[in-house]
Amino acid sequence: MDDIVRQAIAKWPNVPDCYGWLGLDARGNWYMRDDRTQAAGPFSREDGGTAGSRGSLLKHDKLIDFIQRNYESDNAGRWFFQNGPQRVYVELDLTPLVWRIDPDGSVRAHTGHPARVKGSVVDEQGRVYLDTDLGFGLVHTQDVPQAAEAVEQGLWTPVEHLAAELPTRFGYQRSPMKKAGR
């Protein structure tokens, strides 16, 4: 977390949390969701589909870097961006992290943080997920061939799970806004 963010939390400790305004898709892209977008529907479908109400794709590199440096989870499995003194809870398309696999087989999150793989999962649609020391996430669609190589080499042995079971099994909330009753 950035020092300036820690200072803001200390200065203004009682700022209300924010729900529904930020979304993360299955490819690691961030979306800003204004009131009109939120009123149009949820960020993603209950069944894990991606035909929800997205909002505006964030393209400003410095803003994206700031979000990613200050992206964490709480004890309830809600992922958030700490924006100064305010927690902005993130609506997730599928998972809180999206994994990229480098040519050497190393794994890093969409945030750029390196991770150590503890286990792998495949769902009923053939999507590949990794459980790591940073948390649980989906392998980026462009990196599925590298994931297949890791499986073929015996480095990963995916366990089958239904996509709907993953949030409970791995302790994250796809929609903190919905859980908060908003």
CATH number of the domain residue 45 falls in: 3.10.540
For the record, the structure tokens of 73 come out as 């989870």
User: Comparing 11-20, 110-119, 131-140, 167-176, which segment has the lowest mean pLDDT?
Assistant: 11-20
For the record, the structure tokens of 32 come out as 């800003």
Task: State the residue for tokens 């099994």.
Answer: 169
How many CA atoms within 13 Å lie on the side-chain side of 47? 4
The residue among 182 and 126 whose pLDDT is bigger is: 126
**3-state class (DSSP) for residue 180:** coil
pLDDT band at 114 (very low <50, low <70, confident <90, very high): very high
Q: Does residue 106 sit in the same domain as residue 87?
A: no
Q: Does residue 53 sit in the same domain as residue 9?
A: yes
The pLDDT, as a whole number, for residue 47 is 58
End-to-end CA distance of the chain: 27
The pLDDT, as a whole number, for residue 44 is 84
Number of domains in the chain: 2
Q: Does residue 19 sit in the same domain as residue 80?
A: yes
Domain range spanning residue 72?
Answer: 3-94+171-179
Report residue 31: phi and psi, to 5°. -130, 135
Task: State the residue for tokens 């800003």.
Answer: 32
Q: Does residue 85 sit in the same domain as residue 105?
A: no
pLDDT reading at 107 higher than 80: yes
Q: Does residue 90 sit in the same domain as residue 102?
A: no
Q: Does residue 66 sit in the same domain as residue 102?
A: no
Q: Convert the pLDDT of each residue in 124-135 to its tens digit.
A: 999 999 999 999
